[in-house]
Amino acid sequence: MRYYVTTPIYYVNATPHIGHAYTTIAADILARHHRQRGEDVFFLTGVDEHASTVARIAAEQGLEPKEYADRILGAWQEVPHRLNATNDFFIRTSDDGHKAFVQDFLQRMYDAGDVYQGVYAGWYCVRCEAFKTEAELVDGKCPVHEIEPEWIEEKNWFFRLSAYQGRLLELYDERPDFVLPAFRFNEARSFIAGGLQDFSISRAGQPWGVPIPWDRGQVAYVWADALVNYLSALSYARPGEDLQDRYWPAVRHLMAKDIIRFHCVYWPAMLLSAGYAVPHQLFVHGWLLLDDRKISKSLGNVVDPLELIDVYGADAVRFWSIRAVSFGQDGSVSIESFQERYERELANDLGNLLSRVTAMIARYLDGDLPHRPSDGSAVRALVDGLGDDVAGRLDQYDLTGALERIWEVVRGLNKHVEERAPWRLAEDASRRVELEETLYDLADGLRVVAVALAAYLPETSARILDALGADPEEIGWDGVDYGLTPTRTGIAAASPLFPRIDTPTAAA
């Protein structure tokens, strides 16, 4: 199986906030999970540099746009790096390989007879990089960014999107899971059914961007350039190797609902025009809201993901992002909820469980755990079907549901400790086998949890496996099954997985 997953490429007009980290975390969980299943995975993220705001901000700072982009690049690369994201490539739209590919792509659309010259006049939101109809504006402002759009009148090159209405509807009717969740599919389909307007694929009087091959005085409209990244990256990410045959169209695009139209309507039509297969699937998630407002730079309620990682660690940020809000829905977050979940779920439910189990193995069994699986084991019942359940949910992008399913096991193991009370079994030499079976079950249950959690909490998973004397690299999905822990020796009490944090984060 080939599995190619992408995040949107992020605008570099400001520094990253937690909303950007969100999609990267989700994509990384899927990439890691599919690698655990032995699939051939490619994970792409990166930055969108040709927005008109970039040229403006650069000019304000007395820099060339490319100089500005070069300077801010580190901040954007730092996010996947510090999150332990396993992206196989980081694309910049200023890469020569990308620019050449975009030119070829647009030329193909032109050669297909789908591009014509026209004049456009309308309200343009520079933050959305999109024209807005009067009906879309709220009090004369862009409803997403709450800023006033600009009136723009230009002679541009247009893509005949209207000609693709029929083919897009066919696509949607043939593939009911082309866009998930279903309500987003319906939203995109009704937009198409409502009639499509041609859109401008070029901008005049602006040097920052990819020159239109047949009209060098214009550059590609930022979306006509950016969307192509998903395909262009495959042409140069591995010099000498064209990954297109390998990963296209096995692609899953992740994005938030703000850019659904570009991905669910414009992008498949552009691909059809240029003669490429359409993507396998698109998943549209909600907005992460802070105090009920979308987190965004222009609204001034930014939470810096790097500050959160500094204080709590990458795994805690990954955990909270997926746990606090049901993936796919909008959800409100607060830093207080972060601290609360950190203590209750990570430090107590999981961290204490590992500390207790390893301490008991060290104390009651001298660190030596014999192989003692039992048929009637409650832990066997607890983890039974876990691998299929989690994989099935992740196939539906139910990242939150799959994590909850794993957490049921964590809670079940805690309950098992209380019910079996190994400290009492240890007082009675005649109950030695029961004691061994109980501690075996708990250690094996924790190993299963660690493998199941490896995609979500890679550092924690490795630490749990290591504490149990298992190989931290052994996280193949077959391992999500009861009774696979062999006899182990030398298990010592593990140090806390999630230490107490008393200082409230500076980001609060």
Interaction site with ligand MSP (CB under 6 A): 8-11, 19-20, 22-23, 48, 226-227, 229, 255-256, 258-259, 287-288, 294-296
99 is catalytic: no
Rounded least distance, CB 455 to ligand MSP, Å: 19
Of the two residues 9 and 55, which places its CB atom closer to ligand MSP in the complex? Answer: 9
For ligand MSP, the closer of residues 8 and 279 by Cβ is 8
Smallest separation, CB 470 to ligand MSP (Å): 35
Of 34, 50, 99, 128, catalytic: 128
Residue 152 structure tokens? 């723009």
42 and 247 Cβ atoms separated by less than 8 Å: yes
Residue 317 or 410 having the CB closest to ligand MSP:
317
Phi, psi (degrees; rounded to nearest 5) at 195: 105, 135
Q: Which residue is nearest to ligand MSP (CB)?
A: 19
- Spell out the residues 6+ positions from residue 455 whose beta carbon is closer than 8 angstroms to its own: 28, 29, 30, 32, 33, 36
Catalytic residue, candidates 17, 99, 132, 416: 17
Torsional class of 209: left (φ above 0), alpha (ψ -120 to 50), beta (otherwise):
left
Residues 136 and 29: their CA atoms lie apart, in Å, by: 35
Q: Which is nearer to ligand MSP, 200 or 296 (CB)?
A: 296
Task: Supply the minimum distance, in Å, between the C-beta of residue 303 and ligand MSP.
Answer: 9
The alpha carbon of residue 276 and the mean position of all alpha carbons in its chain are separated, in whole angstroms, by 25
Q: Is 132 part of the annotated catalytic residue set?
A: no
Measured N-to-C along each axis, helices 18-36 and 305-312 cross at an angle, to the nearest 10 degrees, of 60
Residue tagged active-site, from 20, 34, 99, 263: 20
Nearer to ligand MSP, 325 or 360 (CB): 325
Give the residue with the Cβ less far from ligand MSP, 51 or 316.
Answer: 51
Q: How far is the CB of 127 from ligand MSP (least distance, A)?
A: 8
Cα 242 to Cα 247: distance, rounded to the nearest angstrom: 10
Comparing CA positions, the residue from 14, 44, 69 lying closest to residue 298 is: 14
Q: Is 125 a catalytic residue?
A: yes
**Closer CB to ligand MSP, residue 232 or residue 377?**
232
Q: How far is the CB of 221 from ligand MSP (least distance, A)?
A: 12
20 included as an active-site residue = yes
Residue closer to ligand MSP (CB basis): 303 or 417: 303
CA-to-CA dists, residue 141 to 6, 40, 136, 148, 258, angstroms: 31, 45, 9, 4, 16
Determine the number of helices (DSSP H) and then strands (DSSP E) in the chain.
Answer: 21, 16
Residue 227 CB, shortest distance to ligand MSP, in Å, is 5
Catalytic residue list contains 17:
yes
DSSP 8-state code for residue 154: E
Question: CA-based Rg of the chain, rounded to a whole angstrom?
Answer: 26
Considering 99, 132, 263, 294, which one is annotated as catalytic?
A: 294
- Nearest one of 458, 438, 446 to 482, comparing CA atoms: 446
Q: How far apart are CA 223 and CA 48, in angstroms?
A: 9
Work out how close the CB of 6 gets to ligand MSP at its nearest, in angstroms, rounded to a whole number.
Answer: 8
Q: How far is the CB of 5 from ligand MSP (least distance, A)?
A: 13
Cα separation, 124 vs 130, whole angstroms: 6
3-state secondary structure (DSSP) of residue 145: coil
Minimum distance from CB of 66 to ligand MSP (Å)? 17
List, in order, residues 6 or more apart from 404 with CB less than 8 Å away.
Answer: 323
DSSP string, 305-323: HHHHHHHH-HHHHHHHHHH
In the complex with ligand MSP, the residue whose CB is nearer, 433 or 508, is: 508
DSSP 283: E
Concerning whether 264 is annotated as a catalytic residue, the answer is no
Q: Please, what is the minimum distance in Å from the beta carbon of residue 433 to ligand MSP?
A: 52
The residues pairing with 52 across neighbouring beta strands, listed in sequence order, are none
Q: How far apart are the C-alpha atoms of 198 and 160, rounded to whole Å?
A: 5
Contacts of 85 (CB under 8 A, 6+ apart): 24, 25, 27, 28, 43, 45, 79
Mapped to the 3 state alphabet, what secondary structure does 89-148 carry?
EEEECCCHHHHHHHHHHHHHHHHCCCEEEEEEEEEEECCCCEEECHHHCECCECCCCCCC
Of 84 and 93, which has the nearer Cβ to ligand MSP?
93
Region of residue 93 (left: phi > 0; alpha: psi -120 to 50; beta: else):
alpha
- Residues marked active site are found at 17, 20, 125, 128, 142, 145, 294, 297
